[in-house]
Amino acid sequence: MIANPITWPDGARCAVAMTWDMDADSAFNWYNQNTADNLVAAQSWTRYDPLIAIPRLVDQFARRDLHLTFFVPGWVIEKYPAQIDLLLKNGHEIALHGYLHERSNEIDKDDELYWLGRGLEAYRKHVGAGPRGWRAPSFAFSKHSLRYLLDAGFEYDSSLMGDDIPYALKEGNASLLEFPVDWTLDDFPHYAHNRDLGYRMPISSPQRAMEVFRSEFDAAWEFGALWISVWHPALSGRLARFRAVLELLDYMRAKGGVWFARLDQVCDHVQKLMAGGRWTPRCETMPLYQSPLPEFSKDHRGAGTHGTTGSAHC
């Protein structure tokens, strides 16, 4: 089922990276720039994340000796430094998630770079050194993002959706690893209902949502994939849902053969495989398109060229 199978440490059948996007009130502010100060219930809802859920997650994962990756915007690092310290002290990875949860593909490229700089500055000031990993806020990876990430020294990204296992993104002579996600393993489609967030999904019970996450895990386990959740403390960190998360962890452990890892550990593992010549990732040359498709321009019609837009493979 997987064309280019990868091996996991100690013969594990699959890798599980239970990652969390600790957005706190950043995304909500980005999407409501002129009104967020007046949306007090939504403020409180978004701050359940750092104030209530993060200490809970840290405590429970410590009891299970689990070390996970948290994607955090720079502004959140600045606003909630104690929580960042708590995460770091407990062996969790802090990866970068923009500065103010900016949608990079809806702003111009200079602004994208500006916010990236702010995010890096906040990260370095508090966490030290630079982040190894990036997830584009709202998955809004732009055609400029890869270049910026390579220039900033990122080693991996986890925003794209093109595979079930790690692959590589290349631009010019440089490349980084992509640890792909999918909306299926995001918790928003299952739980998010809040007028001020512009999301009104029917709210699943934790049991129904876990059916989805567990079926993805079972398939990853059977076929050797990398399972990456994109969960939000304000949603999946609530009592009933988090209890179901812990039960899913029990289920995974009982099944056995699972490598639980932070994404920086996945990165180390893949880099080592590559250095040893034991595995080569599929590689995509970016950007795929430099501009909108010429086929949509009426002028283009006479030209008779059905211009393909660059090879997609390295």
Determine, following the binding rule CB under 8 A, whether residue 239 of this chain makes contact with a copy of itself: yes
Cα distance between residue 208 and residue 266, in whole Å: 29
Among 13, 67, 147, 184, binds a copy of itself (CB under 8 A): 184
Cα distance between residue 190 and residue 75, in whole Å: 27
Determine, following the binding rule CB under 8 A, whether residue 271 of this chain makes contact with a copy of itself: no
Determine, following the binding rule CB under 8 A, whether residue 37 of this chain makes contact with a copy of itself: yes
Query: Would you give the DSSP letter of residue 92?
Result: P
Cα distance between residue 33 and residue 215, in whole Å: 38
Considering only 90-98, 148-156, 256-264, 293-301, which stretch makes contact with a copy of itself by CB under 8 A? 293-301
Cα distance between residue 239 and residue 138, in whole Å: 25
Cα distance between residue 23 and residue 5, in whole Å: 33
Determine, following the binding rule CB under 8 A, whether residue 51 of this chain makes contact with a copy of itself: yes
Determine, following the binding rule CB under 8 A, whether residue 5 of this chain makes contact with a copy of itself: no
Determine, following the binding rule CB under 8 A, whether residue 140 of this chain makes contact with a copy of itself: yes
Among 291, 299, 302, 305, binds a copy of itself (CB under 8 A): 291
Residues 244-263 that bind a copy of itself (CB under 8 A): 244
Determine, following the binding rule CB under 8 A, whether residue 136 of this chain makes contact with a copy of itself: yes
Among 123, 134, 191, 260, binds a copy of itself (CB under 8 A): 191
Beta strands of the chain (E only): which ranges?
14-21, 69-72, 93-96, 133-134, 156-157, 167-171, 174-178, 193-194, 199-200, 226-231, 258-260, 283-285
* List of residues 6+ apart from 310 with CB closer than 8 A: 285, 288, 289, 290
- 73 close to 98: Cβ distance less than 8 angstroms: yes
Burial of 173 (0-12, 13-18, 19+ CB in 10 A): exposed
Residues 61-90 that bind a copy of itself (CB under 8 A): 75, 78-79
**Phi and psi at residue 256, to the nearest 5°:** 80, 165
Comparison of 105 and 265: residue with beta carbon closer to a copy of itself = 105
Determine, following the binding rule CB under 8 A, whether residue 208 of this chain makes contact with a copy of itself: yes
Q: How far is the CB of 93 from a copy of itself (least distance, A)?
A: 21
Determine, following the binding rule CB under 8 A, whether residue 100 of this chain makes contact with a copy of itself: yes
Comparison of 69 and 158: residue with beta carbon closer to a copy of itself = 158
Considering only 5-13, 33-41, 84-92, 266-274, which stretch makes contact with a copy of itself by CB under 8 A? 33-41
Q: Where are the alpha helices (DSSP H) in 159-257?
A: 188-191, 206-223, 233-236, 239-255
Determine, following the binding rule CB under 8 A, whether residue 173 of this chain makes contact with a copy of itself: no
Considering only 88-96, 213-221, 257-265, 272-280, which stretch makes contact with a copy of itself by CB under 8 A? 213-221
* List of residues 6+ apart from 193 with CB closer than 8 A: 199, 200, 201, 202, 203
Cα distance between residue 71 and residue 20, in whole Å: 6
Determine, following the binding rule CB under 8 A, whether residue 280 of this chain makes contact with a copy of itself: no
Comparison of 60 and 265: residue with beta carbon closer to a copy of itself = 60
Among 16, 76, 150, 220, binds a copy of itself (CB under 8 A): 220
Among 194, 231, 261, 270, binds a copy of itself (CB under 8 A): 194
